[in-house]
Each structure stands twice: as structure tokens, then as C-alpha cells.
Amino acid sequence: MSIEQFIANEVKSNDVVLFMKGTPQFPQCGFSGQVVQILDHVGVGYKGLNVLESAELRNGIKEYSNWPTIPQLYVKGEFIGGCDIIREMFQAGELQQLFADKGVTLNAAASA
């Protein structure tokens, strides 16, 4: 399986995927940490993929999305954006609306 196939499979088979530096439990960059905090606060379940474990994944996701930075958030197969976009959408209430519009279930109590 090529890295493009791997990424496409992850994005299509999980409602919410975050390509990040580190893990949701231990983010290893401030931007990834901010997106994790937002997703946890909103209460959405997501899969975090650590790009630091694989240079192939780190470079592959940038090519896949044509977006130069990490983290990258995908919802229902659609690339949403990086940290700044996610933070702005959250502050405006647009992120929560996006999850509702896409049919992504939010938990009443977010887990930290």
C-alpha cells in the first residue's frame, strides 16, 4: 500500500482524522496541542496520526492535501485546515456547526 493509499484509507474510514505531531495524549508541538484541546473541548471523537513516526507520512500528508503545515484536520473525508483555521472556526462556532452538518456525533462530556 502506498502512502497515498494509506492516507486516503484513513481519511475515508474515520469520520474525523487529525494528522499531528505527537499523539492526542502527548502532542509534541503547540499547534497540534491547540487542535487537540479544541477537539476535546467540543467533544468529538477522532483518530490522531503521529507524523513524527514516519517521514513518509509527514511528507505524504502535505502532498495529499497540498497544504504545507501540520496539524491537518479531516472531517468525513474533507480537508478542513490547520491550527489557525480550526481555532478561528471554533471561536466563531463554525467548527461545531460543521460537525453537526456532517452528521458527526459530539459527546456531551468531552474527555481530556
User: Does 29 belong to an annotated binding site?
Assistant: yes
Contact 71, 83 (CB under 8 A): yes
Annotation: binding site: 29
Annotation: binding site for [2Fe-2S] cluster: 29
